[in-house]
Amino acid sequence: MSISPSYTLRNKRIWVAGHGGLVGSALVRRLQGEGCEVVAAPRDSVDLRRPDQLERWMREVKPQAVFLAAARVGGIYANDTRPAEFIYDNLMIQSNVVEASRRVGVEKLMLLGSSCIYPRLAPQPIPESALLTGPLEPTNQWYAIAKIAGIKLGQAYRRQYGCDFVSVMPTNLYGPGDNFDLMQSHVVPALIVKAHQAKLANAPTVEVWGTGSVRREFLFVDDAADGMVFLMKNYSDEGIVNLGPGSDVPIRDLVSLICKVVGYKGGVRYDTSRPDGAPRKMVDTSYAASLGWQAHTPLQAGLEATYRWYLDHVASQERRAVA
């Protein structure tokens, strides 16, 4: 089985790979209460796609545990239009971090995947056992294949070398620190920007991609980081573990909620020439719950925190740049 209450983070040197990203920065926040030293690889001198640079840095710094939150990520448009980057960068980052972790003797490594690894038409909610049981959603197959390879890498190193490598599969994430660039972002930050700009411009409508009828499950990133730290300390097995809040919404309801949080009172225009992506991808979180973890941030509260972060960190800088 799976529960191994013995792994402590206290007094350990922990590398959060991807410390500046959405998940990595939430992990850094969450780890502050764990009595550990958090280290970060400098972006300008350590390219995780380069095994030589990575291993040199890891031998110098000697991390004892690693959260692999570094990845090439993006929303439906970025995934669909930059397939080479999404498959190559993720395959390289994962292979290099897994192999270097084995070579320098990392005690524990957590790989992060995504709910898009599951078949497009998987049963809902999606159990971990649905992995590799059917065809993938075409818009993100490149990213999904790379993330599935990451899971298999971790499992293979566990079997052959006895490495304590585990994999978690969070559902769609959002929160402070997200990417608000419309051509790269996921739906939550994109709609926050669009609703905010429509409010400022008094625009009659806000544009939403797709039909609005597909459903998504959104996990607040600080909940996700909490689940990851919980599993790092308490889970040790080759099975993957889903992380999610346990409920999903149609995109059209998400749009209404974001407009309410932002204070935009106009209408909505659906651009159906844009893809919908998977019809639904809500993960079954009963395994994580049986291990003792669950999410606690309601969607509206998470969206309010994300909008506040956007106003303080993105919109305010754009205003300064214009002034």
Residues that bind ligand GFB (CB under 6 A): 75-77, 79, 114, 116, 139-140, 143, 172, 185-187, 190-191, 208-210, 214, 216, 251, 274-277
Q: Rounded to the nearest whole angstrom, what is the least distance from the CB of residue 104 to ligand GFB in the complex?
A: 30
Q: For residue 159, what is the enclosing H or E element? A: helix 141-161
**Nearest residue (CB) to ligand GFB, 106 versus 117:** 117
Nearest-CB residue for ligand GFB: 75
**Nearest residue (CB) to ligand GFB, 157 versus 218:** 218
Strands 108-112 and 165-170: parallel
**Nearest residue (CB) to ligand GFB, 13 versus 280:** 280
End-to-end alpha-carbon separation of the chain, Å?
A: 59
Q: Rounded to the nearest whole angstrom, what is the least distance from the CB of residue 141 to ligand GFB in the complex?
A: 9
Residue of 21, 2, 8 whose CA lies nearest to 177: 21
Q: What is the DSSP letter of 44?
A: T
**Nearest residue (CB) to ligand GFB, 66 versus 251:** 251
**Nearest residue (CB) to ligand GFB, 209 versus 264:** 209
* Number of residues that this document lists for the chain: 323
Structure tokens at 278: 């998977």
Q: Rounded to the nearest whole angstrom, what is the least distance from the CB of residue 7 to ligand GFB in the complex?
A: 28
Half-sphere exposure of 271 (CA within 13 A, CB side): 8
Q: Rounded to the nearest whole angstrom, what is the least distance from the CB of residue 219 to ligand GFB in the complex?
A: 10
Measured in whole angstroms, how far is the alpha carbon of residue 285 from the centre of its chain? 16
* Residue carrying the six token digits 């709910």: 115
- Kindly list the catalytic residues: 143
CB atoms inside a 10 Å sphere around CB 298: 12
Structure tokens at 309: 């972060």
Q: Rounded to the nearest whole angstrom, what is the least distance from the CB of residue 116 to ligand GFB in the complex?
A: 3
**Angstrom distance (rounded) from CA 139 to CA 187:** 14
Q: What is the DSSP letter of 49?
A: T
Q: What is the DSSP letter of 235?
A: B
